Amino acid sequence: MTKPFKRLLLTGAAGGLGKVLRERLKAFTEVLRLSDIADLGAAAEGEEIFQLNLADKAAVLKAVEGCDAILHFGGISTEYPFEDIMFANIQGTYNIYEAAHRLGVKRIVFASSNHAIGFYKQTEVIDADARMRPDSMYGLSKCYGELLGQYYFERAGIETVALRIGSSFPEPKNPRMMRTWFSYDDLVEALRCSLVTPRVGFTVLYGMSDNPAVFWDNRKAAHLGFRPKDSSAQFAHLFPDTGVYPAEDDANATYHGGGFIFDGPKYK
């Protein structure tokens, strides 16, 4: 079967989701180019390895060259001091977009996060038009990445799907994640839709499975054709309703962003 792409770049390939995607993305591309600051080991068949720091513009240019599209999962994925976030997530994401611009890559899937809108209350259901309300320096960096995507689409015609990932783990870890859970299979399908849809412009897609209750409305991303098949309903037995109302300082029961609300800010 002919694969839709000749070469895809996956940044952050040594991260938690990067490790999951390393094998699964090969179904879409003849060559999967992997990058990370960490050691990725030896390249398997159909792989190319670029060990690099995303803040190194020249190295990023080399990694982007010859790619049909980019799945940008690289950077710091938890709360850190701004100085760390700045180089990995802000400078690094700028380098990815500028390299794409210089080298003619026209599609990026940006691994954004629910922490770009984490200060909404769990009583609110929002869509892609809701204003950003970051809950952390990490969340701020994801807002910046989304704004870069919008800018480079308007300025240079680079199309972006900003995938605001909820909670992509084998199973939910708390009651909040029953609403934000995003199965690995649904993640891969969301990436496939983001890559192959003919026109995406700049689109925000909330990364979540077909859960019984949710915080986010994806109707404004309907043109991507993403239809999640999994649901957190299968894990309902893990978090039975006790009838006890959560405490006011329980961030996991109050805000979209959960514990990130009280995890930061952090300082050097």
Q: ∠ CA 15-204-165 to the nearest 5 degrees?
A: 30
CA distance 20 to 26: 11
Catalytic residues: 138
In the chain, the largest separation of any two C-alpha atoms, in whole Å, equals 57
CA distance 86 to 90: 5
- Tokens 């490790």 -> residue: 19
CA distance 252 to 215: 13
Question: What are 137's two structure tokens?
Answer: 């320096």
CA distance 131 to 5: 34
How many other C-beta atoms can be found within 10 angstroms of the C-beta atom of residue 37?
18
CA distance 64 to 9: 7
Cβ density class 181-219: b for 16+ within 10 Å, e for less: bbbbebbbbbbbbbbebeebebbbbbbbbebeebbbebe
Let me know: does 77 contact 93? Beta carbons within 8 Å. no
Residue type at 96 in one-letter notation: I
Return the SS3 of 34.
strand
